[in-house]
Structure 1
Amino acid sequence: MIRLFRSKIYIAIALMLTVLLAGTLGYHFISELSWLNAIYMTIITVTTVGFNEVGPLETEGKIFTIFLIISSVFIFA
């Protein structure tokens, strides 16, 4: 029982880190944000805080944000 619980925790942590890494890389390369701004934008997006964007988002950045929100809500839930 404990072994199954630990494996689920490890999977959840790995998925969360994957979303954070993918979000940071996506914002950095798609929206050309700095690394710090990309991490910040990822955190405020996946936690659904909803602060303003760090920089202006073009169409590609908005589409990426939509997929990041959908994937993070499902994974974090």
Structure 2
Amino acid sequence: MSINTKMTSEKVASKAAKILADKNASKTAKSLAASALSQKDSLKQTGAELEELASKVLRSEKYNDDTKELAASVLAQSNKSR
């Protein structure tokens, strides 16, 4: 299995932390934020289920730029074999 060594940047991690603290943030945004934070300073890779969610977010018009940025970060850290 090929390992993806990309990690969440400081900028995205900061944004993710703010989203997790926001009581009005959507469940989708919080899921992506949690995944992005778990991949900060770690070689953890995005699972298939979250890859699918992130892909849907990027294709949808209903999500804001912050949520799409988290989705892009999560996808960039996905398993290279998938």
Q: TM-score range by the shorter chain?
A: 0.3 to 0.5
Higher relative helix content? 1
Q: Which has the higher contact order (CA 8 A, sep 6+)?
A: 2
Greater Cα radius of gyration, structure 1 or 2: 1
**TM-score normalized with structure 1 length:** 0.34
TM-score by length of 2: 0.33
